[in-house]
Amino acid sequence: MADSGLKAVISERLAQFMKLYDAGDLKAVSELYTEDCRFMAPGNVTTIGRQSVQDTLAGMKAAGFARFVLTVDEVGGIEGGDTVYERGHFELLREDGSKGDEGKYIAIWKKVNGVYMLAIDCFNSNK
């Protein structure tokens, strides 16, 4: 699959992430990750597994970050296409639409049963 095709696939997965996060369905967001994913959020140690994703995102929601806006800057395939890297940037918005934070991220996606799942997710703030 050409990088433009990969970018479209990953962009669709990110659209799912944003829709689910914005709706508060954090369990469904965590299911976009592999069972043994590594989640590296700002100010936290690396955590492992879907529950850690759900817990961290719940903390972000509780801190007032109502919406996640993710923008893909670059996508490329490695290991014959079953593994994909993604680089992008994000904004975290409050309920009133004001910007609560912004930063950048890098993610590694792995194909599991024919579907790309987040295996490693690392993001940090520009602040």
pLDDT band (50, 70, 90) for residue 5:
confident
Please check whether residue 36 is in contact with residue 47, taking contact to mean a CB–CB distance below 8 angstroms.
no
pLDDT at 81: 72
pLDDT tens by residue, 32-65:
999 999 999 998 999 999 999 999 999 999 999 9
Residues in CB range of 26: below 8 A, 6 or more apart: 20, 53, 54, 57, 58, 61
Identity at 51, one-letter amino acid code: Q
Please check whether residue 14 is in contact with residue 70, taking contact to mean a CB–CB distance below 8 angstroms.
yes
pLDDT tens by residue, 61-116:
999 999 999 999 999 988 777 999 999 999 999 999 999 999 999 999 999 999 99
Residues in CB range of 41: below 8 A, 6 or more apart: 47, 56, 60, 123
pLDDT band (50, 70, 90) for residue 2:
low
**Count of all residues that appear for the chain in the document:** 127
Would you state the structure tokens that stand for residue 80, as one six-digit string? Answer: 């014959």
Please check whether residue 88 is in contact with residue 72, taking contact to mean a CB–CB distance below 8 angstroms.
yes
Q: Which strand ranges, in their side-by-side order, compose the sheet holding 47-48?
A: 47-48, 33-40, 115-125, 99-112, 83-93, 67-78
Please check whether residue 68 is in contact with residue 90, taking contact to mean a CB–CB distance below 8 angstroms.
yes
Identity at 66, one-letter amino acid code: A
